[in-house]
Structure 1
Amino acid sequence: MGGADAAATVGAYRFAQVWVHGVAAVRESAAAAVVVRFAGIYGPGRTRLIERVRAHEPGGAAYTNRIHRDDCAGVLHHLLRLERPLPLYLAADSEPAKQCAVMGWMAERLGLPAPSGADAGDASLGKRCRNARLVASGYEFEYPSFREGYGAIIAAMVRRAG
């Protein structure tokens, strides 16, 4: 399967350029360091995408990558315990997906109509990020895809509302 890994070149966006310079500064320092690049973080209190579904906003056609906030903490804990970690990891769940697909799945779980068609203009944006280096290090995801992570959030929302 194709996709970007932790060492992949990033796009021309300002954020990506700043990130690349930050990684270079860490590598050039004398301190031993491990850089972890997290995908989009979601979890309790980070439900912007769910709110977009509730507002019937369309999803994008670009691939997006995400990681549950509990897995962010788990990744850091795991890497701190490794005897010889690699210098760079990409922390993203195991299922990159088009934003419109994630939002459609959410709408179905929430009993809402599917969001309107995706904006095809952004289909060339985004990358399918690979977490192979992280998984090979022995990390096991609590939420391996958006389905488990957002599923738990939606279930909690339904329980609170019921």
Structure 2
Amino acid sequence: MAAELAENLTNKGCRLLLLGSTSAYPPKAEDLTDERCEINKTLPRVQSEEHLREAYGAIVLRLAGLYGPGRHVLNWIRRGKIRNTPRYVNLIHIEDVAALSLAALQQASPGSSYIVSDGTPRLWADICEYASTQWHIPIPEPTTPKDAGKRLSPQKILHELQYELRHPDLFKELDEIEREGEEIIET
């Protein structure tokens, strides 16, 4: 079904953009992860992305964790969705994802793949500490991670599409979202 849709669209001159996940890359905290690193092709989602990329020229954006209005990291801590752990996490503001998606549709070569993150890997433990210090949010009990996570590099997409992040500073953005104090229902 996806192949039929892709073929139909590409035959009409349409470009395909897939929003994937950086979970396609295995944990590897000791070095930066970029697009030259192996992806986990045993995952069905990654297999589909790669098929559409290779066969139909789909552009794949592999997204780090999304935050912004409607996706508030501090609320995740308040609700117990985040563990206080020394595991790397990579995030990207949803407005940068939207802008980079448009730029990729306009400029990227067919079959390109990109990592999309803010380029500053952080430890969940550090984010929890910031939430406590800055906003008096109780820190969850420390936990041991199953792995060290990964540190992502978005340099390829930023360089090739000549894009400058609008929201490069997670803590500044969290402060702004928190100050606005909007009650947002998250899914």
Which TM bucket (shorter chain)? 0.7 to 0.9
**TM-score scaled to structure 2, two decimals?**
0.69
Give the SS at the match of 2:151. coil
The CA distance in 1 between the partners of 2:92 and 2:129, in whole Å, is 18
Q: How many residues align?
A: 152
Could you say which residue in structure 1 is the equivalent of 2:16?
none
Could you say which residue in structure 2 is the equivalent of 1:61?
86
**TM-score scaled to structure 1, two decimals?**
0.78
Cα deviations across residues 77-96 of structure 1 (Å, max 9, x unaligned)? Answer: 22223264770111111211
1:2 to 3, 23, 31: 31
**1:142 matched to 2:166:** yes
Q: CA RMSD in A?
A: 2.7
- For the 8 Å contact 1:40–1:67, the answer to whether it is kept is yes
Q: CA deviation at 1:46?
A: 1.2
- Alignment CA distance shift 1:6-1:118 (3 Å): farther
Could you say which residue in structure 2 is the equivalent of 1:112?
137
- Alignment CA distance shift 1:86-1:142 (3 Å): farther
- For the 8 Å contact 2:88–2:149, the answer to whether it is kept is yes
Q: Specify the code of the residue in structure 1 equivalent to 2:37.
A: A
2:49 to 23, 38, 54: 23
2:152 to 129, 133, 146: 129
Please list, as runs of the form range in 1=range in 2, the aligned pairs for 1:40-119 lying within 5 A after superposition: 40-47=65-72, 49-55=73-79, 58-82=83-107, 84=109, 87-113=112-138, 115-116=139-140, 118-119=142-143
Q: Specify the code of the residue in structure 1 equivalent to 2:31.
A: G
The CA distance in 2 between the partners of 1:50 and 1:95, in whole Å, is 18
Q: CA deviation at 1:125?
A: 3.6
Q: CA deviation at 1:145?
A: 3.2
- For the 8 Å contact 2:91–2:117, the answer to whether it is kept is yes
Larger deviation, residues 84-93 vs 125-134: 84-93
- For the 8 Å contact 2:59–2:109, the answer to whether it is kept is no
- Alignment CA distance shift 1:112-1:72 (3 Å): same
Cα deviations across residues 35-79 of structure 1 (Å, max 9, x unaligned)? Answer: 1111111111112x3124335774222101111111110111222
Unmatched tracts of structure 1, length 5 or more = none
Which is bigger in relative contact order (C-alpha 8 A, separation at least 6)? 1
Q: Specify the code of the residue in structure 2 equivalent to 1:153.
A: I
- For the 8 Å contact 1:102–1:146, the answer to whether it is kept is no
The CA distance in 2 between the partners of 1:128 and 1:4, in whole Å, is 6
Give the SS at the match of 1:77. helix
- Alignment CA distance shift 1:77-1:119 (3 Å): same
Moved over 3 A (4+): 55-58, 83-86
The CA distance in 2 between the partners of 1:50 and 1:99, in whole Å, is 11
